[in-house]
Chain A
Amino acid sequence: MMDNKPEIDLENDRLLDRLLTEEPDYVLSDDFADNLIKKINIRQALRQDLMEFLTILSAILGIIVAFGGTYYFLNKENFMALKPFILNGYTPVVALFILFVFFMDKVLLRLLNQLKM
């Protein structure tokens, strides 16, 4: 057995070199790149839609604040009279509903369409 040791050692070295350079048996699926590009496109579109939604939303809010602010400085008494109309009743519900529909249209429906494709 002792005589065989260097030979076995050399054989093991060779085997080890071969094994270490052998590719792992895991292979990615054939459609890996296609699925990946699809995922990237969906993420990009979602980000773009969200940005568009936020831009339009902040523009609308900006206009409301600008008009509200101007009206407040020009006609303080009448502005305070509007307060119950804005905070009570259906106004906040309607505003939230419009916001939700706007969000559905600009972001969610587009995302669902992308996912279907």
Chain B
Amino acid sequence: MQESNLIDQVKRGNTNAFRYIVANHQKLVAHIVSRIVLDRDEIQDVCQEVFIKVYQRINEFRGESRFSTWIASIAYHQCLNHLRKKRRLNEVNFEDDKTVDNLKTDTGPERIFENNETKRVLKSVIESLPLAYRTVITLFYLEEFSYVEIEQITGMPEGTIKSNLFRARAILKEKLMNSSLNRP
């Protein structure tokens, strides 16, 4: 069944049709929520709240954007609300990034460059990036949204999105360069 048909069915209160919508978009929501909320114990609950909001507000969807863009926007704002509630919005910033330093001392530079270890280190670095950077790299690289769509989702101007992407990438690359130049 086409997505527009499913949406119409859900608008008429069909929860079974909504099950298909959940199945089709749960990966997208899980990616966004897990990259923004970070705390694994809370991700599932936030994802549930996202889909409950999607269900409650589906009548507001007019098809002006892609349905996935609309869902991503709800997921993004739900995450911000969740973090605001927990007063954790500014808890992490990349200046006090201890993750990479710790791993360097734990494992040594040559181990860091082994494939799995590098992935683990860089995933930790991504998680230690500021929220705005984490959001744009997830939406752009992982979910392949365009600048315009990211603007619709987050409300950030296109210029800010581009500069956030550039800075996030520069930080990650610098961490990688440091690791590789330290190699014996």
Where the two chains meet, the residues of A that have a C-beta atom closer than 8 Å to any C-beta of B are 1, 5, 8-9, 11-13, 15-17, 19-29, 32-37, 39-41, 43-44
Contact = CB atoms under 8 A, between A and B. Distances in A.
Contacts of A9: 177
A16 B44 contact: no
Contacts of A12: 173, 176-177, 180
A80 to B, nearest CB: 50
A15 B180 CA distance: 12
A15 B23 contact: no
A21 B141 contact: yes
A8 B180 contact: yes
Closest CB pairs A-B (n = 10): A20-B141, A26-B34, A12-B176, A33-B22, A8-B180, A24-B34, A28-B30, A19-B122, A33-B19, A37-B15
Contacts of B123: 19, 24-25
B47 interface: yes
Given A8-B181, A12-B177, A37 B19 contact: yes
Nearest to A1: B181
A103 to B, nearest CB: 25
A17 B140 CA distance: 12
Given A11-B180, A19-B119, A37-B15, A24 B31 contact: yes
Interface string B77-96: 00000000000000000000
Interface residues of B, number: 35
23 contacts: A9-B177, A11-B180, A12-B177, A12-B180, A16-B172, A19-B122, A19-B123, A20-B141, A20-B142, A23-B27, A23-B31, A23-B142, A24-B123, A28-B47, A32-B26, A32-B44, A33-B22, A34-B19, A35-B48, A36-B51, A37-B18, A41-B15, A44-B15
Nearest to A21: B141
A26 B40 contact: yes
Given A21-B142, A28-B47, A40 B52 contact: yes
B27 to A, nearest CB: 8
Nearest to B180: A8
B20 to A, nearest CB: 9
A23 to B, nearest CB: 7
Given A26-B40, A37-B18, A16 B176 contact: yes
A8 B19 contact: no
Contacts of B26: 28, 32-33
B67 interface: no
